[in-house]
Amino acid sequence: MPALYNFMNKKFAAPRGTNDILPDETPLWEDLESKARKICKSYGYHEIRTPIYEETTLFKRSLGQTSDIVNKQLLELATDKEEGYALRPEGTAAVVRSYIENNFDAKEILSKFFYIGPMFRGERPQKGRLRQFHQIGVEAIGSNSASPYLDVEMIALAMHLLNELGVKGLKLKINSLGSKEDKEHISIWLRSEFAKHKKNLCEDCQNRFERNVFRVLDCKKEHCRKVVASIVKHLPMSESSCVYFKTVQGTLKASGIDFEVSPHLVRGLDYYTHTVFEITAEGLGSQDAVGAGGRYSGLVHELGGNEEIDYGAIGFALGIERILLACGYDSTIIPNRIQAFVIAMKEEYQQDAFILLQQLRREDISADMGFSGGSIKSQMNKANNANASFALILGEEEMRNGTVALKDMTASKQEVVLVKDIINVIKSRLKE
Ligand code: ATP
Ligand code: MG
């Protein structure tokens, strides 16, 4: 049966574009996540955990039918229904869905959320670009109208997180797309300007030009960039949107946050209005964006928010893998440690060893034992490999006298302690 033979010999690997985060890397992730949680909370944001898949139509509605994420990158789950589910490619859609579903607008004027977790996109994997990657995302959604100071808070929080996580060479680019009404005027203006140069635009942009002209501004192709640069010095918008953007810039300056205004920065999604921003870091090559965000107030109505409320919403997402790459941490290994390792010198002492082990764990002392027994030498090796601070040895004499030999693995000192005192002795030694 050759087919079965092949199957039996198959070596499985993690799916292309995904990574295992191994136990000697998880302390780094835990550290990064706990720092991020602390900083987000200090700005009044609280964690939300939404499912990792949602209805496909939620993403189609929120990201827009013309976006790359929906067109090329959505990982849909097989289903017999016409419209099924897809793994989440980003976090905003689900947070807005949850905001509306849970009637947050009736509970508070401004809701402040953050999330940390995996996102999924069917991209071509390369350095800094994965199919499963992780984001730290922040969203503020309110039923009052937009405040430019909230835009600055968002940018300040993103920069604070990246600085605190140790990312060097940060560059912040900002732009304003104006209000929803401005965007309509700008879109007509851009279309009439680009129409004059249509034949110089790439094929993608000729399509984008019809469906969402803003995306042409963001095209990476050289000849499109030339056309864009010759037309767009700044986007024409209303007086009130200009004042809004000036307040954002003035407050950033007053807060000591450096930035550059980039009139071509638009961000891929349809619902962005007013402030949009992108942050890059040095040393990442072509995938140098560590985070991006913007104001997306129109999305709340699009996903079913109360038509009578003038929602304001803004958020950003940072890519954790790119943060780790930028910090040079991608290959950093922090050895896991354990406080106590219990050794039974004879097979028949294993049950007592196990009882002691559980007692230690209940007392909040991290502990393990070598379940396969073996010589004292091989068990000491196991204690060393586990990076144990102490080895607790149960030998013949100890079993007879109700004691434990307590070996300090770093100082190579050994003492004999009564079993009934062992917890207190270890706790006080650990404090030394
Ligand atoms: P890019 O232009 O690099 O494709 P994007 O505009 O698609 O980024 P966003 O949707 O704004 O990215 O996501 C925010 C951040 O998430 C990015 O700045 C990046 O750090 C990270 N990110 C996005 N896609 C990936 C991916 N496929 N692999 C790893 N990180 C990613
Ligand atoms: Mg992308």
Q: Does residue 119's CB lie within 6 angstroms of at least one atom of ligand 1? A: no
Q: What is the mean pLDDT of the chain?
A: 91
CATH architecture of 26-179+237-327: 2-Layer Sandwich (3.30)
Closest-lying ligand 1 atom to the alpha carbon of residue 121: 27
**pTM of the entire predicted model:** 0.91
Q: Which two tokens stand for residue 275?
A: 């402030």
Centre of ligand 1 from the C-alpha of residue 223, in Å: 24
Instruction: Check residues 81 and 285 and name the one with the higher pLDDT.
Output: 285
Residues 156-188: tens digit of each pLDDT: 999 999 999 999 999 999 999 998 889 888 888
Structural domain spans, the chain = 26-179+237-327, 340-431
In the chain, the percentage of residues whose pLDDT exceeds 90 is 68
Q: Identify the CA nearest to 135 among candidates 175, 89, 202, 95.
A: 89
> How many CB atoms are closer than 10 A to CB 295?
29
How much is the pLDDT for 207? 78
Q: Does residue 291's CB lie within 6 angstroms of at least one atom of ligand 1? A: yes
Residues 314-327: tens digit of each pLDDT: 999 999 999 999 99
Nearest protein CA to atom 24 of ligand 1, as residue? 129
Centre of ligand 1 from the C-alpha of residue 408, in Å: 47
pLDDT category at 1 given cuts 50, 70, 90 is very low
Residues 226-276: tens digit of each pLDDT: 888 888 877 789 999 999 999 999 999 999 999 999 988 887 677 788 999
Centre of ligand 2 from the C-alpha of residue 267, in Å: 10
Q: Does residue 121's CB lie within 6 angstroms of at least one atom of ligand 1? A: yes
Closest-lying ligand 1 atom to the alpha carbon of residue 268: 6
How much is the pLDDT for 320? 97
Centre of ligand 2 from the C-alpha of residue 263, in Å: 20
DSSP H helices in 196-262: 203-211, 214-217, 222-231, 239-254
How much is the pLDDT for 145? 66
CATH of range 340-431; options 3.40.50.150, 1.10.20.140, 3.20.20.140, 3.40.50.800: 3.40.50.800
Q: Does residue 19's CB lie within 6 angstroms of at least one atom of ligand 1? A: no
Centre of ligand 2 from the C-alpha of residue 17, in Å: 14
Distance, in Å, from the CA atom of 30 to the CA atom of 261, rounded to the nearest integer, reads 35
Q: Where are the beta strands (DSSP E) in 258-326?
A: 260-261, 273-280, 289-295, 312-319
Nearest ligand, measured from the Cα of 293: 1
Instruction: Check residues 330 and 415 and name the one with the higher pLDDT.
Output: 415
How much is the pLDDT for 51? 98
How much is the pLDDT for 259? 98
Q: Which of 134-143, 200-209, 287-296 has the lowest mean pLDDT?
A: 200-209
Using an 8 Å Cβ cutoff, are 17 and 131 in contact? yes
